[in-house]
A and B are shown apart, each in its own frame.
Chain A
């Protein structure tokens, strides 16, 4: 006596061609006289045909952008020379960030660049630095140190919440911020070096403070980053 549910398990194997000849023969004979199992067989074939008609699902465009960004971040992509140098610094997949940060970083970079060129090519200052007295020079440096201290305090105040935020963010976006922070820190150090090399250069002071300002702004952007998405 054939048990229909058991036979249907064999039907399922039979449609896949996974049944030996003897059992396949039993299935075929049973299907001729059992409408229930015959219907099951037709349904199995209908599902099979349905699966063949399934179409691949198109991923959203941002998937490639995220992958490409990660490839760049991991240094797996050789950068194209025709791209502007800041294209590697500024992420492509966060258009909200790009205008703000590309501009800021570009300005800063050009600033430091000109500062370094200026330092290298001019043994004596071209921009006339007023022949200030030693006490005046010290006062200017004192002002700079005060401003630096204020920025450092702001950075300190923002650091815990921005670190927390980075952990909770989408990893790709978090990586963007990490990279931008690293870039900012790099330029901040360049600026500090420039001030150390020429403590009396007002341009060096200006760029150092601008670098601090940009870092604070970036950290504020991170802390409020929900609104970017």
Chain B
């Protein structure tokens, strides 16, 4: 079943079509929710709401944009709305207190101080999860989901400049979080090699 066939099937109420469409998009939707809210129960709830809204509105999908774009935009809106509604430390773009200026002192000049080789998947996921929410939101939308700053600005109701500077601060903070992990990793690797 192609995506277009599945969409038509959903409009007609074919149970298999719903499942096909769900399977096509479940990972991306759930990953987005998980990375934005961190809590698995909340992420499940948001994913369910996203799919239900999608299935309720599917008859209005006109195909003038890609279906996945439509679906993911809808998911982002649901997440942002939930965050605002719950007042979860706000999707504040003025989170200037925690902007990565607390970087640990670094030494420069030798190869091994780079993050290259440190940034494995699991370490990165953990560091992203540890970002303050405002930073994490912009980082996930821009660097992981690939949204442009002007789209992020529109979705979050801020300026493009604000989105750009927020992303910079997010990356700065992320780098400092990853660098904190680096000495531990090196010790582990040293132990393992003995």
Binding site for B on A (CB under 8 A): 8-9, 12-13, 18, 35-36, 39-40, 42-51, 53-60, 62-64, 66-68, 70-71, 74, 76-78, 80, 172
**Residue on A nearest B9 in the bound complex, by CB:** A78
Which residues in A have their C-beta under 8 angstroms from that of B121? 50, 53-55
Question: Can you list 10 residue pairs at the A/B interface with Cβ under 8 Å?
Answer: A8-B172, A39-B106, A43-B178, A47-B174, A56-B30, A59-B26, A66-B44, A67-B18, A77-B13, A78-B12
Q: Which of A13, A46, A57, A64 is within 8 Å of B19, CB to CB?
A: A64
Which residues in A have their C-beta under 8 angstroms from that of B34? 57
Which residues in A have their C-beta under 8 angstroms from that of B22? 64, 67
**Residue on A nearest B146 in the bound complex, by CB:** A51
Which residues in A have their C-beta under 8 angstroms from that of B56? 74, 76
Q: Which 10 A-B pairs have the closest CB atoms?
A: A50-B119, A56-B27, A78-B13, A59-B30, A46-B115, A35-B108, A57-B31, A12-B168, A46-B116, A43-B115
B46-54, B66-74, B82-90: which lies at the interface: B46-54
- Which label, helix, strand, loop or mixed, suits the secondary structure of the B interface? helix
Total A-B contacts with CB atoms under 8 angstroms apart: 126
B interface residues, how many (CB within 8 angstroms): 50
Q: Is B165 an interface residue (CB 8 A)?
A: yes
- As a 0/1 sequence over residues 27 to 60 of chain B, the CB contacts with chain A under 8 angstroms (1 = contact) are 1111100110000100110011001100110000
Residues A12 and B171 in contact in the complex (CB < 8 Å), given A42-B114, A54-B144, A57-B34 = yes
**Residue on A nearest B179 in the bound complex, by CB:** A43
Residues A58 and B30 in contact in the complex (CB < 8 Å), given A64-B19, A77-B13, A78-B12 = yes
Which residues in B have their C-beta under 8 angstroms from that of A74? 52, 56
Q: Which of B18, B29, B120 is within 8 Å of A77, CB to CB?
A: B18
In whole Å, how far is B79's beta carbon from the nearest beta carbon of chain A? 14
Binding site for A on B (CB under 8 A): 12-15, 18-19, 22, 26-31, 34-35, 40, 43-44, 47-48, 51-52, 55-56, 106, 108-109, 113-121, 124-125, 143-144, 149, 164-165, 167-168, 171-172, 174-175, 178
In whole Å, how far is A53's beta carbon from the nearest beta carbon of chain B? 6
Which residues in B have their C-beta under 8 angstroms from that of A64? 19, 22, 26
Which residues in A have their C-beta under 8 angstroms from that of B115? 42-43, 46-47, 50
Residues A70 and B48 in contact in the complex (CB < 8 Å), given A9-B165, A59-B27 = yes
In whole Å, how far is A14's beta carbon from the nearest beta carbon of chain B? 11
Give A65 to B26 CA distance when docked, in angstroms: 13
A71 B31 Cβ-Cβ under 8 A: no
Which residues in A have their C-beta under 8 angstroms from that of B29? 59
Give A47 to B18 CA distance when docked, in angstroms: 36
In whole Å, how far is B160's beta carbon from the nearest beta carbon of chain A? 10
Q: Which of B43, B44, B118, B124 is within 8 Å of A51, CB to CB?
A: B124
